[in-house]
């Protein structure tokens, strides 16, 4: 697709600001809008906060925070935008209103991508004129660092819009995936939710502590998962026989583990255990230092992965 010069950002909270910073770093003009009091100041502060990390990753020619403009009026902010990233509250009624406002402010062929983490695109795209150009473009937090974007079309979205959206995200350095059918939580969050359920269950049953569960993932399979997904990791475990060999030989015991996985709800006890466990695990650490160090290591990891062409 033709790469637009200006990106529209609607909703300037943490996700919207992270998207804005990323688009600026890729050399775009960004026009942002948000009706909340103090939204512009908060947006500019967050973009400035994210900018050093983006410098380390590498800025595109012409990239500058000075190319960010803001106006509380969507019509003014989005004027001339060739792609819109919507990041409003996770409410169907508000999303539909926002899509109507965005539609009135941009040309009929401009793609409108929503960052919604849980709302089905078909539930909201009817709020837009030309709903066929509305698509889900769900990032993984924080969007200025994490490459993944989940792309989902709704009942009215055309295949051509989905292909244009996938091509656009690829062209700007993202790793988009096409989710072929709408489902609650999309793909990545559903996979996370499956792991979280068992993690909370293991703690609730007294099988492991919060810190032990975190250690089990961060210093075990999480290291491999940062490089290859579950299917390719399983394939490598099978040696020359690959994933077929693993299924043939380990399939039966794996199925018994599936049947034994726990199920639970967020009761007050489960919540209290998690809060106390995290507080104990973070003893002697500050949250800001933890986040800064995580992002620093993540930047180095992304750089290493970029130099490893055999990793899909």
Q: Which two tokens stand for residue 47?
A: 């973009």
* Residues of the chain predicted below pLDDT 50: none
Adjacent-strand bridge partners of 31: 8, 69
pLDDT attached to residue 111: 97
pLDDT attached to residue 3: 84
Show Cβ contacts of residue 21 under 8 Å, excluding neighbours closer than 6 positions. Answer: 46, 47, 50, 51, 54, 144
Residues 64-95 have pLDDT tens digits of 999 999 999 999 999 999 999 999 999 999 99
pLDDT attached to residue 1: 61
Rounded to whole angstroms, how far apart are CA atoms 289 and 203?
26
Contact (CB, 8 A) for 137 and 8: no
Sign of CA dihedral 77, 50, 226, 205: negative
Contact (CB, 8 A) for 136 and 151: yes
The CA-atom distances, in angstroms, between 309 and each of 91, 231, 242, 304 are 40, 18, 21, 10
- What the chain holds in terms of domains, given with CATH numbers, is 6-179 (3.40.50.720), 189-306 (1.10.1040.10)
Residues 10-47 have pLDDT tens digits of 999 999 999 999 999 999 999 999 999 999 999 999 99
Distance from chain centroid for Cα 255: 30
Burial class (CB in 10 A: 0-12, 13-18, 19+), 44: middle
pLDDT attached to residue 253: 95
The CA-atom distances, in angstroms, between 293 and each of 40, 42, 46 are 28, 23, 18
Cβ-based neighbour number of residue 298 at 10 Å: 16
Greatest pairwise CA separation for the chain in angstroms: 62
Residues 153-165 have pLDDT tens digits of 999 999 999 999 9
Contact (CB, 8 A) for 87 and 13: yes
pLDDT attached to residue 2: 73
């Amino acid at each position: 697709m033709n790469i637009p010069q200006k990106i529209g950002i609607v909703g300037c909270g943490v996700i919207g600001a992270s998207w804005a910073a990323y688009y600026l770093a890729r050399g775009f003009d960004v026009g942002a809008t948000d009706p909340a009091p103090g939204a512009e100041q908060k947006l500019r502060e967050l973009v400035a906060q994210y900018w050093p990390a983006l410098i380390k990753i590498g800025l595109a020619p012409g990239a500058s925070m000075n190319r960010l403009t803001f106006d509380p009026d969507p019509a003014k902010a989005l004027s001339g935008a060739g792609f819109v990233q919507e990041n409003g509250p996770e409410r169907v009624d508000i999303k539909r209103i926002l899509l109507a406002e965005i539609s009135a402010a941009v040309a009929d062929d401009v793609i409108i991508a929503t960052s919604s983490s849980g709302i089905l695109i078909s539930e909201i795209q009817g709020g837009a004129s030309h709903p066929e150009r509305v698509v889900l473009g769900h990032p993984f937090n924080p969007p200025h660092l994490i490459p993944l974007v989940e792309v989902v079309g709704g009942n009215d979205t055309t295949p051509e819009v989905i292909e244009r959206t996938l091509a656009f995200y690829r062209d700007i350095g993202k790793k988009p995936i096409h989710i072929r059918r709408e489902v609650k939580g999309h793909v990545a969050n559903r996979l996370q939710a499956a792991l979280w359920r068992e993690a909370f269950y293991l703690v609730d049953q007294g099988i492991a502590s919060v810190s032990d569960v975190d250690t089990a993932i961060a210093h075990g399979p999480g290291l491999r998962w940062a490089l290859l997904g579950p299917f390719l990791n399983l394939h490598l475990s099978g040696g020359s026989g690959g994933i077929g060999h693993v299924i043939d030989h380990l399939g039966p015991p794996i199925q018994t583990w599936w049947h034994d996985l726990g199920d639970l709800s967020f009761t007050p006890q489960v919540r209290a255990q998690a809060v106390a466990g995290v507080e104990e695990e973070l003893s002697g650490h500050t949250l800001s230092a933890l986040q800064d160090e995580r992002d620093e290591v993540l930047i180095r990891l992304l750089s290493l992965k970029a130099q490893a062409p055999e990793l899909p």
